[in-house]
Amino acid sequence: MTYVGEAGQVSARYRPVADVPALTTRSGVSRRLVAPGSVTNGQFGLFEWNMPPHAERYFEEVAEIDASGRTLSYDEWTELYARHDQYRAG
């Protein structure tokens, strides 16, 4: 995508950190909806995710499972999610 306009559009909105509540999990992962659809004219929502260094272990374990060619059962996925403070979507 390339911007071809003469000048940029001034449309930013300031939202102090104190105005945007964060949700933090037991493992220390915090997330905030910093730009909900009501702020972006319904075009998108923007989340900020802050993960402590140990959160990488979840992604490493998923990569190891994928590399091994192993297929996890529903119960194994549930256990994996719980072990890393993750949640099944859907």
For residue 52, the one-letter residue type is: P
Q: CB of 13 within 8 A of CB of 39?
A: yes
**Looking at residue 4, what is its pLDDT?**
81
List the domain boundaries for the chain. Answer: 14-51, 52-84
pLDDT by 10-residue block (mean), the chain, 90 residues: 77 80 83 86 87 78 94 93 79
N- to C-terminal Cα distance for the chain? 32
Rounded distance between C-alpha atoms, residue 39 and residue 42, angstroms:
7
3-state helix, strand, coil in the chain (%, to 5): 30, 15, 55
